[in-house]
Structure 1
Amino acid sequence: MDTYCLISEQTKKKLIIVLACALVFSSMSATMFNVALPSITEELSLTASQASWIVTSYMIIYALGAVSYGKLADKYTLKNLLTIGLLLFTIGSLVGFFSDNFAFIILARVMQAMGASVFPASAMIIPTRYFSPETRGRALGMTSAGLSLGVAIGPIIAGMMTTALHWHYLFALSVLPVIFIPFFRAYLDNQAGKDMKLDLVGAVLLGVTITCLLLGISTKDLYYFPLVIVFLVLLMLRMKLAEEPFIRLELFKNRRYSLILILFALSSGIGFGLPYLTPLLLAEVNGVNAFISGLIMFPGAAIAALLAKRGGELADKKGNSFLGYIALSSYFICFFNLSWIVGHSPYLILIILAFGYIAQSFFQMTLANTVSEVLPKSQIGVGMGLFMLTNFVASSIATALMGTSLSKELVSPRLNIFQVTNKATVYSNIYIVLSIIVIVMFTIYSVMISKSHSHSEMKSKGF
């Protein structure tokens, strides 16, 4: 059934605005507590390992929730899923606000993640389900703007609230999204997906596999990785043998979808280098404190948010591939230029960062739009959930690899001969490697687009 006509055009406009606003809070919640972590650690006398769980627990549940809600969206109404998600997020925020105990703070973060993880999948499913291919890019642009704005203002708001008030008020701020429930219930339709059995065994196997993988990456404990292999094998067997598996193997037999996941993994990995490496670089090489680092990073993310809608319009008018090539070119401009300006004025870094944030926003938009074209509607929910899950796993792997490179101070040889500041050589080398990855992405994307055009031409000729 065609779902584009389930709600009116006027309602669609209101719905996408409400979704974009909700996504601001969702992405803020994922980043704010990184800034507040030192204050929480000191006040509660936590060890470094304990403190890391405030972020790690959220990341694991958020990642698993993204794919779980995507699967549930194929069976239940988005209206009810968003209502449940927002209620869980609000309850978790209230628990956190009244907690002075480490265990309750972890409980609060887990509940927040269980609720907030409804948004990554919804941000992709709503434009795909309710907007026609001719207008879908603009809708994805709005959701991308919400995500980018949250990333931009999250650290700054967290820094100000933690300094002027108390870190508890970060939880209080997170109660506000509850106001969006009446709007989602008014604007979304009541249509549910087909009545299918949920594969709880498959869901548990996926959850344990991803949990072991993320724990192994975040703790650098090698004992988790044999468990990852064991549970991954069991998951694949379940996918093959179950009548209604949680994730169908057919998804990965779709070559274009598999290429999209690879490209998104690479994009998420290199894109995470912007918020992860920049504060470390500015502190170690330029002697800039955390607050000033946030101000330097803010304009790039804000510009990406402002241009996201324009990017969606370009995708609608000139096609996904046009926007994709703009994104990949911007990625290369960002990382190659960062490889030689590190160690120089932070204001140069501020300018170059904008290209990276724009690239990340545009490329996610491009790939999400392409997913909606290569998957049947019956697989869109879980397909988008896996798409967003890829983001979290790739970001975690990238963090571990970049952190290892920095800790080992891989300063020789100098990969960019134009980079002259010895203290920043390790960062320059990482940015050169990221530039090479962009070239690999450009090649994969070109092959995928070429095959897509060939397939379209054959279909038009009746083959």
Structure 2
Amino acid sequence: MNKEQAVKNPKGLLISLCAVMMMSVMNGTMFNIAVPDIAKTYHLLPSEVSWVMTGYIMVYAVGALTYGKLADYYPYRTLITFGLTIFCLGSLFGFFAQNYGMVLLARVIQAVGGAMIPALVFLAPIKYFPNERGRVLGIVSSVMAFASGIGPIAGGFIAGFLDWRYLFLTSALIIVTLPFLRRNLPQEAVKKGYIDFVGAALIAGFISSLLLGITLGVSWLFIVSVAFFLLNIWRMKTIEEPFIPAHLFKNIKYRTTIITSFLSIVCLFGMMFMLPIMFRDAYEMGTMTIGLVLFPGALSAALMGQKGGKLVDTKGNTFVLYLALTLLAVGFLLLSTLVGAHPYVVSAAIIVAYMSFPLVQASSADILANILHKNETGVGMGVFNLLNFVSGALSGAIIGKSLDIFNPGQPFNWFGFEGTTAVYSNVFLAFSLIIIIGFVQFRMNYEKNNQTYSQKKPASL
């Protein structure tokens, strides 16, 4: 590590990164619980109140990629200061919001600032912890998974005993991590470089129209999305330094890892989205009870992340990814078989799938870090973060439609329970098959290609 990147207090930096990641993820999951209360306050239809989450995810996804690109040139201390300040201002604005329009604006402001967090948190281990990268990525991923589990519990408690507006005030507390991050991040200079803002706008248009088309079910938005996509391809091929270099996706290892990670995260986010609905509708549980049933899975993810990160450093990133995919396939198959049984039995089965979350994140991020050229780590990991958030919106929309349309009494799984849980059994079975497809395509494409991206970079496009 060069002198410019030296970290005086690595442990302090890691704790600060975990704290800011914890509060960021909890902010997103807490508001899932508050959506019905916001709808009641402002007399909104489900399609109207859904913008509380849709607008946030849309801006967050595009922002995560943008910050990743900016991180290739600007000091992390500058980006983290800007991001957390904007996020805090948005949170305070939301707490004092007088109407639904102000609430939506507050969520957008939060997303503009908060999108910086995953960019920093997943890049910092690569930049500042090169000898312990796997372990640190594992810890960060475990914190992310744990926060996803306890967020609904915290959100239910705050909204239930106080008011949903206090979720904004709770989110504003993230600013307390800023002094610790600034103290532990090293001083760095601004690097010279060209940023293709036109290309960034085209990508933002593509992602926004795609997510809107998925969440709203408006067909013409998909045509707009295709138009933005084609314009972006044209832009990537016609300028020397596009926002996302085209040769990133020409590398088989990078492309294969991104696809495998995307398929895995689609299923994991789909599980997190569907389980509360299942326990509420099929098991008639309340919010707090659902949170308690899901808590063991979140705790197992936190514990597994630390061990999985060490495995990445000792056994290798591909070994851990294969392990994670195997656990995921088995976990989803177990859930397909056991949904309909006693909640405690289902809770135990959730652990198997949930514990794979940090393993997938840590191993995929470590593989990408080895593949990417050091000058393109930011944008390469930005694409990784972008697809993670797009996968959440995609899985939620598809599963929501599936639950609306299909109501079978008999599951495809021969050993599954009949009745109201049959549709959930079928979705988990589909998840298991998707993971197997991801496993096979990674095995076929990654192993047969031994080129290293850092050694092969096209001179021009």
1:239–1:247 contact (8 Å) kept in structure 2? yes
Percent of aligned positions that are identical: 37
CA distance in 1 between counterparts of 2:6 and 2:70 reads 24
1:61–1:113 contact (8 Å) kept in structure 2? yes
CA displacement at 1:245 relative to structure 2: 1.1
1:249 alignment counterpart:
246
1:6–1:130 contact (8 Å) kept in structure 2? no
Aligned pair partner of 1:191 in 188, 191, 197 = 188
TM-score, with length taken from structure 1:
0.94
1:117 alignment counterpart:
115
- 1:123 maps to a residue whose letter is V
CA displacement at 1:449 relative to structure 2: 4.6
Aligned pair partner of 1:394 in 391, 394, 398 = 391
CA displacement at 1:432 relative to structure 2: 1.1
Distance 1:432 1:98, change over 3 A: same
CA distance in 2 between counterparts of 1:216 and 1:455 reads 37
TM-score, with length taken from structure 2:
0.95
2:6–2:128 contact (8 Å) kept in structure 1? no
CA distance in 2 between counterparts of 1:33 and 1:446 reads 38
- 2:20 maps to a residue whose letter is A
Distance 1:199 1:293, change over 3 A: same
Aligned pair partner of 2:403 in 403, 406, 412 = 406
SS in 2 for 1:139: helix
1:324–1:362 contact (8 Å) kept in structure 2? yes
2:284 alignment counterpart:
287
1:5–1:130 contact (8 Å) kept in structure 2? no
Deviation per residue, 1:37-83 (Å, 9 max, x gap) = 11111112223222111111111010011000000001101110000
2:73–2:191 contact (8 Å) kept in structure 1? yes
Moved more, 399-408 or 81-90: 399-408
SS in 1 for 2:226: helix
SS in 1 for 2:138: helix
Distance 1:437 1:145, change over 3 A: same
1:220 alignment counterpart:
217
CA distance in 1 between counterparts of 2:325 and 2:371 reads 21
The answer to whether residue 93 in structure 2 is matched with residue 95 in structure 1 is: yes
CA distance in 2 between counterparts of 1:193 and 1:371 reads 24
- Counterparts in 2 of 1:144-159, with a 5 A limit? 144-159=141-156
The answer to whether residue 367 in structure 2 is matched with residue 370 in structure 1 is: yes
CA displacement at 1:274 relative to structure 2: 1.8
Deviation per residue, 1:241-283 (Å, 9 max, x gap) = 1222111101111111111111111011111122111112212
CA distance in 1 between counterparts of 2:147 and 2:415 reads 35
2:459 alignment counterpart:
none
Distance 1:10 1:215, change over 3 A: same
The answer to whether residue 353 in structure 2 is matched with residue 349 in structure 1 is: no
CA distance in 2 between counterparts of 1:5 and 1:432 reads 51
- 2:403 maps to a residue whose letter is L
SS in 1 for 2:193: coil
- Counterparts in 2 of 1:399-438, with a 5 A limit? 399-409=396-406, 411=408, 414-438=411-435
CA distance in 1 between counterparts of 2:348 and 2:417 reads 20
Gaps of 5+ in 1: none
- 2:95 maps to a residue whose letter is F
- 2:394 maps to a residue whose letter is I
Gaps of 5+ in 2: 457-461
Deviation per residue, 1:358-383 (Å, 9 max, x gap) = 11210111000000000101110001
CA distance in 2 between counterparts of 1:185 and 1:451 reads 43
Deviation per residue, 1:19-46 (Å, 9 max, x gap) = 0110001101111111011111111222
CA distance in 2 between counterparts of 1:368 and 1:430 reads 27
Aligned pair partner of 1:303 in 300, 303, 306 = 300
Aligned pair partner of 1:82 in 61, 68, 80 = 80
Aligned pair partner of 1:336 in 330, 333, 336 = 333
1:361 alignment counterpart:
358
SS in 2 for 1:247: coil
CA displacement at 1:455 relative to structure 2: 7.2
- Counterparts in 2 of 1:136-215, with a 5 A limit? 136-192=133-189, 194-215=191-212
Aligned pair partner of 2:316 in 319, 323, 326 = 319
- 2:355 maps to a residue whose letter is I
- Counterparts in 2 of 1:249-288, with a 5 A limit? 249-288=246-285
The number of residue pairs the alignment matches comes to: 455
SS in 1 for 2:355: helix
SS in 2 for 1:282: helix
